[in-house]
Amino acid sequence: MDEGMNAVLIVGAGPVGAVCALALQQQGIAARVIEAQPADARADTRTLALSHGARLILDRLGVWNRLEHVTPITRIHISHRGALGVARLAADEAGVPALGYVLPYATLTAVLKQALRDADIAVDYGVAVDRIESDTACATVRTADGRALAAQMVVVADGGRGDAAPEPKFKRDYDQMAVVCDVQTELPHANRAYERFTPEGPVALLPNGERYALVWTASHAHAQRIAALPDDEFLAALYRHFGGRQGRFLAASPRKTFALKLAWTGSEAADRVVRIGNAAQTLHPVAGQGFNIGLRDAWELAALCGDAPTSEIGSAAMLAAYARGRRSDVLGGVGFTDFLIRVFSNDIAPLRHARGLGLLALEVLPPLKSFVARRMIFGARG
């Protein structure tokens, strides 16, 4: 069954899709959202690390002040195991109230879902996409229940889960998994985060309420073994791996594992379809870049639509301009995270010494420290 023409149709009601819809409405552009999951789907249990730049986006949408259980990161301690060299970043040195913020994914999605309702933005839950067809005139989303939804522009923000996702232009399998859980430490976190590089991969501790959110990267086989350890053995292994900067590890929540990869599909779009967020690029979680890049995708696409004549929304010229505008930020994030993993996840002696010198330079050179901090906060154009 064919339905009327939509201005913008967004596939995916997760945070990136929701932010895109809300930002478009601020620009006076109506968007309709379709989501494969039912409205009462079980909440995701992941923890998010938002940059200060992402906070500014959510604040402009009137969402930030609704969020609860947000823990600011005011300091970041960066080190690598087995060699000298430590760098410390601080929010006051960067001129921001916090370098980042940690909160449950479910908290953000619940607030954004309510914001969509408050804004009277139409969201069709439980609607799976079968395929997307497009030409120079419009794009049509064919749903699994037989409907045809036409739009001037279709924004794919489904996290790359859709069956119609194209083959990435560049991909890398790191042969790593992330073991994630919350841990309680002997010493209070005082809003300090840690990024510690090891030959097996980085381990991050992010202040999360009274605890830390842990992201422990290891090879597939080792990660599975780590996750399956009884609590006391897991906590002892983590202490040996991370060290005693926060004292002993006292407790841990149940562990989950996620495979880690790099995949860049790109923002280039023809015939009225554009991909944003993880549907366009999936990054390693080191330095917390991927989700924040996705929010900037949504914000900048909406801003570009607001600047374009209504008839030009979704046109080849507009989408080409969007792709050009996002290239430096996205590829900068892809290159930055890939560089960190490739350079730090090994035990090659010359690189080990170079890494130590690099961290020392980051610690003692204020311009370099400012450059790295602003890149983490605002992206490649920070």
- Domains plus CATH for the chain? 2-43+105-169+262-344 (3.50.50.60), 174-260 (3.30.9.10)
The tokens for 46 are: 């992941």
Instruction: Flag whether pLDDT at 259 surpasses 60.
Output: yes
Tally of CA atoms within 13 A in the half-sphere of 162 that contains its CB: 29
Q: 15-24, 36-45, 96-105: which range is least confident on average?
A: 36-45
Q: What is the pLDDT of residue 27?
A: 96
Instruction: Flag whether pLDDT at 350 surpasses 60.
Output: no
The tokens for 264 are: 């860049």
Question: What's the mean per-residue pLDDT of the chain?
Answer: 87
3 state DSSP class of 122: coil
Which residue has 């139409």 as its token pair?
122
Quote the distance between the C-alpha of residue 96 and its chain's center: 20
Q: 139-143, 152-156, 212-216, 365-369: which range is least confident on average?
A: 365-369
Instruction: Flag whether pLDDT at 13 surpasses 90.
Output: yes
Which residues are within 8 A (CB) of 214 and not within 5 positions of it... i.e. 6 or more apart? 179, 180, 181, 182, 183, 203, 204, 205, 206, 238, 252
Dist. CA 354–CA 39, nearest whole Å: 50
Q: What is the pLDDT of residue 1?
A: 45
* Short-list 46, 51, 104, CA closest to 73: 51
Q: What is the pLDDT of residue 333?
A: 82
Instruction: Flag whether pLDDT at 318 surpasses 70.
Output: yes
Dist. CA 289–CA 294, nearest whole Å: 9
Higher pLDDT, 368 or 148: 148
Q: What is the pLDDT of residue 339?
A: 73
Instruction: Classify burial at 335, counting beta carbons within 10 Å of its beta carbon; exposed 0-12, middle 13-18, buried 19 or more.
Output: exposed
Mean predicted confidence (pLDDT) in 174-197: 94
Q: What is the pLDDT of residue 78?
A: 87
Instruction: Flag whether pLDDT at 175 surpasses 90.
Output: no
The tokens for 171 are: 């991909």
Instruction: Flag whether pLDDT at 261 surpasses 70.
Output: yes
Q: What is the pLDDT of residue 139?
A: 93
247: left (phi > 0), else alpha (psi -120 to 50), else beta? Answer: left
Measured CA distances, 36 to 158, 160, 233, 254 (Å): 9, 12, 40, 28
The tokens for 252 are: 């841990």
For residues 119 and 22, the answer to whether their CB atoms sit within 8 Å is: yes
Q: What is the pLDDT of residue 120?
A: 96
Instruction: Flag whether pLDDT at 264 surpasses 90.
Output: no
